[in-house]
Amino acid sequence: MDQVTSGAIAMGFCVAGLFFLRFWRDTGDRLFALFALAFILMAVSRAYFALTESPDAGEDRYWVRFAAFAIILVAILDKNRSRPPLDRDPSG
């Protein structure tokens, strides 16, 4: 039952990643690309750990999640960093 649940969660992460990938393709916004990367990373790790059933992979799971959430945090900070205003005066 645990593998079925992990597979369903991996599928949900993959679907979310594909949606963000589509939004990135439509807008070109780096935020969506980084979100897609994070969700696909979580999907791949969830599927890998569900299929391997390795008892010594406990700590590795948390490092992969940490990396995915760090990517999300970097994406949010990158989107909200202050940028200098554009000079729109063509005369000067």
Query: pLDDT tens across 69-88, in order?
Result: 999 999 999 999 867 666 66
Q: What is the pLDDT of residue 43?
A: 95
- For residue 10, which of 67, 48, 56 has the smallest C-alpha distance? 48
* Runs of H (alpha helix) within the chain: 2-27, 30-52, 58-80
Report the predicted TM-score, pTM, of the whole model to 2 decimal places. 0.81
Q: Is the pLDDT of residue 91 over 80?
A: no
Domain boundaries, given as residue ranges, for the chain: 2-80
CA angle at residue 22 from 17 to 81, to 5 degrees?
Answer: 80
What's the distance, Cα to Cα, between the start and end of the chain in Å? 68
Digit-coded pLDDT (tens) for 12-61: 999 999 999 999 999 999 999 999 999 999 999 988 888 887 666 677 78
